[in-house]
Chain A
Amino acid sequence: MTTATATGRTATGRTATSPPKPGRRKPMKSPYPTWFFIPAGVFYVVLFLVPTIASFYFSLTRWTLFDVEFIGFDNFIRFFQEPQLVTGFINTFIYAFLTSGAKVVFGLLFGVLLSSQIIGRGFLRATIFFPVLVSTIGVGILFKVLMDPFDGPINESLAVLGIEGPAWLTDPSIALLSVALVDIWKGVGLATLIYIAGMVAIPQEYYEAAKVDGAGAWNNFRHITLPLLRPATVTVVLLSLIGGLRSFDLIWAMTGGGPGFTSDVLASVIYKQYQAGFFGLSTAGNVVLFLVVAAIIFPLSWWLNRKEADQ
């Protein structure tokens, strides 16, 4: 602690606000020498920057891990000719927007519920957050068993009620939706947590003032809670949308992109190409995924944050 104050005194805000000394020290300079950044910088360059740049290069090659042959944009042309790719693209968007939207709605509802004074609140909060902590692959395998069309517990329970359950994961028209459903179940806990944190941060004075003005529960929610939760909503939307766009593990564990190619998303198409040994092609796919995610998230983030700043 003494060291901290000692170093702090040499070059932090306090010296910065005082008249600049003659010599090399300039105001607002970082308290740490630049070479403090070298260890982190080395890791960043070696583990992130170099592979990123290398992947742009390898996406332009036919690459077997042993040989590299430069082939220009052929990989991208081939990638866009993939029969699965069109389905993959559409599915990615359906999956991302569906899960993201549902997490916002349900996260908000659960957030409101779990920040009110109800019995067993702590327990309920823990319960809803629990699926977030479980391994995604584990959840996928578990639900694959639960959703088995013939002897899965879900359809057996429905049969008791006299309902014939659908072939959740093997019916081409609903396989993707079944996976999305599980994704929502698994991810809604995190959204709820973010909303609870956002709600706790809203000062009670607003509600008291509104109460004086005679506002009811709905008006409280509509005109105080909802607008002031905007930052939380932005976070939930961005996180779940990015997660949804590059979602892979749950889909792979539950359907493997099947039946056929009907529940393939961008990430699973890329993975299958990697598995098949088309390293250049799958790197090109990753570059495409990177660009797609960036093209959606950057404008969206800018738009959401601008709205926030306007208020």
Chain B
Amino acid sequence: MVPRTTRRSIVALGAGGLALSLALAGCSAGDSDSDGGAVELSFLVDNGESTVSTAEALAEAFHEENPDITITVETRPQGADGDNVVKTRLATGEMADLFQYNSGSLLQALNPDQTLVNIADEAYVDKLDENFIKSVATDNGVYGVPMGQSMAGAMLYNKDIYADLGLEIPESWDDFIANSEAIKEAGVAAPIVQTYGDTWTSQLFVLGDFNNVLAENPDWAEEYTNNEAKYVDQPAFAGFEHLQEAYEAGLFNEDFASATYADGVSMVATGEGAHYPMLTFAASQLATTNPEATDTVGSFPIPGDDASTFGLTVWMPTYTVFVPQSTEGEKLDAAKQFLEFLTTPEACDIQSEANAPQGPFVVEGCELPDDVPAMVSDLQEYFDAGQTNLALEFLSPIKGPALEQITVAVGSGITSAADGAAQYDEDVKKQAQQLGIEGW
């Protein structure tokens, strides 16, 4: 009888131990899969249709040039869920060999000095635009290479409606409201499209107004980082104020609370909506859903109170490719080779082809094709005239994460502009403390 009991307990213990060792083995799986000369790299990108197609086109072209390096594209969700995936995988050392993420303040939240491979000494970095380098650098290094073009936070508008009603591009906020009222009166379209079904789209009134903030106070970004300038005060408060004003004037589309980003782009394209404050990366959405309207949808800067400072708020390429520190050895060499490939005119051409361009390239030697959508070619005059400023997220590491909910609340009339701005200042404070910035 006695041996029986013992054997059973040994089995029980053994089973427990086996389960535990399986659990531990799960943590280290997928580290080593290189054999000989061939290198296989994984490349994590967001699951946006255009991102995936661009990444795949680039991976394929790169493989043709370097037959022994294969790049497999993996996808992750977009938005805050995707941020989660990236942060968690970086923190656990389980990141893909290459990954696409945002430049600017979102990058800062990844602690690049501790998680990403510094490429400051690579020769190809010299080919990148100075402003772009600022957006992917810390005091200690440079980390990313662009995949895509710069873009603007602009007011997309339907050129047919403007032509029919004989409207002119408004250079001040009052002119803009006057135009919107005229469109409302004519009853042909919703004057301003808002799409809170995708909450992130609600931020443009505030973020896209930043050129006007800087025009008023060129040191605003620095003061903001140093805990001196606040959103509750002018000039930055204007963005919140404009959002509230537009809501109260009843200028939004009827279904603003449930419409999505894709709906918004279609509405401007079909003339159901007249204006849509949006980033010009909407060009790729437009090319997918309404290809016939690429010449109908134009863009102009989001106007501020002062017509003399009319100008664009510019975003550096949001799609930036980084290499995590968990990529080592020959994989690291291959990954760096891919980064270098991204800075060649050939790679730029592939990007223009795979995806409608959204603004000028930030890589030396790269040119846009001739047939760019009107929303992008409209931007050129402001770039040529130097009427541009970088968006705040490239000038300061701090961006409060709750801005999109706050702007939805202000734009839906739930919160007043003043309360919304105050809430956002608190949100910013939280982020600054989390980032360990001095003076908060």
What is A's interface to B at a CB cutoff of 8 Å? Answer: 3, 6-7, 10, 33, 35-36, 38-40, 42-43, 62, 64-67, 69, 78, 81, 83-84, 148-150, 167, 169-172, 256-262, 272, 274-278, 281
B167 neighbours in A (Cβ, 8 Å) = none
* C-alpha gap A148/B83 in the complex (Å): 28
Q: Are B87 and A260 in contact (CB under 8 A)?
A: no
The residue from A62, A69, A149 contacting B257, defined by CB atoms under 8 A apart: A149
* C-alpha gap A3/B2 in the complex (Å): 10
B83 neighbours in A (Cβ, 8 Å) = 275, 277
- A and B contact pairs by CB, cutoff 8 A, 16 listed: A3-B4, A3-B8, A38-B13, A39-B12, A43-B20, A65-B88, A149-B255, A149-B257, A150-B254, A167-B257, A259-B414, A272-B80, A274-B84, A277-B87, A278-B430, A281-B434
| Interface: B182 (CB within 8 A) | no
A257 neighbours in B (Cβ, 8 Å) = 405
> Which of B109, B402, B434, B436 has most chain A Cβ within 10 Å?
B434
> Which of A64, A259, A274 has most chain B Cβ within 10 Å?
A259
Nearest A residue (CB) for B419: A83
> Which of A3, A35, A167, A276 has most chain B Cβ within 10 Å?
A276
List B residues 61-115 near A (Cβ within 8 Å). Answer: 80-81, 83-84, 87-88, 91, 109, 111, 114-115
Ranked 5 nearest A-B pairs via Cβ: A39-B16, A260-B409, A276-B401, A170-B257, A65-B91
The residue from A3, A39, A170, A275 contacting B196, defined by CB atoms under 8 A apart: A170
Q: Are A259 and B91 in contact (CB under 8 A)?
A: no
Q: Are B405 and A69 in contact (CB under 8 A)?
A: no
Q: How close is B422's CB to chain A, nearest CB, in angstroms? A: 8
Q: How close is A182's CB to chain B, nearest CB, in angstroms? A: 16
Q: How close is B439's CB to chain A, nearest CB, in angstroms? A: 16
| Interface: B412 (CB within 8 A) | yes
Q: Are A262 and B414 in contact (CB under 8 A)?
A: yes
Q: Are A276 and B433 in contact (CB under 8 A)?
A: no
* C-alpha gap A209/B402 in the complex (Å): 64
Q: Are A260 and B4 in contact (CB under 8 A)?
A: no
* C-alpha gap A259/B198 in the complex (Å): 11
Q: Are B20 and A42 in contact (CB under 8 A)?
A: yes
| Interface: B406 (CB within 8 A) | yes
Q: Are A66 and B4 in contact (CB under 8 A)?
A: no
Q: Are A7 and B412 in contact (CB under 8 A)?
A: no
Q: Are B434 and A272 in contact (CB under 8 A)?
A: no
A65 neighbours in B (Cβ, 8 Å) = 87-88, 91
